[in-house]
Amino acid sequence: MSKKITRSDAEWRRLLTPEQYEVTRLGGTEPPFSGQYYAFKGRGKYRCLGCGNDLFRSETKFDSGTGWPSFWAPISEGSIETARDTGQGMVRTEVKCRRCSAHLGHVFPDGPPPTGLRYCLNSLALKFVGEEG
Ligand SMILES: [Zn+2]
């Protein structure tokens, strides 16, 4: 189910740490090499911190050297949405959770095969869930 989740600003502030709120609700970016997942190699799924939506899989994660967790494809196109972002004097494509509209990061056209895409995400927007068994 990809039913939209909407919460008031006050609810998000209560549910998230100030750092998580800054990134996911205000479109902030964590400092590179600061997050818990940029060099993390566990096998499993990365879910949206805000709503638990399945977003990315460890099989599509790669070491981009940027200091942010990077993936070449989402679990499905339906789990994310993209939007044009012209902030900070750059034209970029913002990546958001389709279910709760949390800001996740940006996608760039310089990733590895097979997609050639690099989804550059914030650890603060994600929650890793390891594979069972
Ligand atoms: Zn979400």
100 catalytic, yes or no?
A: no
Which residues place a Cβ less than 5 A from the ion ligand 1? 48, 50-51, 53, 97, 99-100, 102
Element (H, E) at 80: strand 80-85
This prediction has a pTM of: 0.94
How far from 6 is each of 3, 11, 116, CA to CA, in Å?
10, 10, 32
- Please state, in angstroms and rounded to a whole number, the distance separating the CA atoms of residues 51 and 97: 9
Partner residues linked to 54 by β-bridges: 47
Q: Which residues contact 126 (CB under 8 A, 6 or more apart)?
A: 37, 46, 47, 48, 49, 55, 56, 69, 104
Q: What is the pLDDT of residue 119?
A: 98
**Mean pLDDT to the nearest integer, 97-102:** 97
Give me the mean pLDDT over the 128-132 stretch. Answer: 90
The band of 48, judged by pLDDT with boundaries at 50, 70 and 90, is: very high
Statement: residue 2 has pLDDT above 70: no
55: CB partners within 8 A, 6+ apart: 45, 46, 47, 48, 74, 75, 79, 80, 97, 104, 126
Asked if 100 contacts 7 with a C-beta cutoff of 8 angstroms, the reply is: yes
What is the mean pLDDT of the segment spanning 44-65?
97
Asked if residue 54 lies in contact with residue 45, where contact means CB atoms within 8 angstroms, the answer is yes
Confidence of residue 87 (pLDDT cuts 50, 70, 90): confident
Q: CB–CB of 99/5 below 8 Å?
A: yes
CA of 131 to the centre of ligand 1 (A): 20
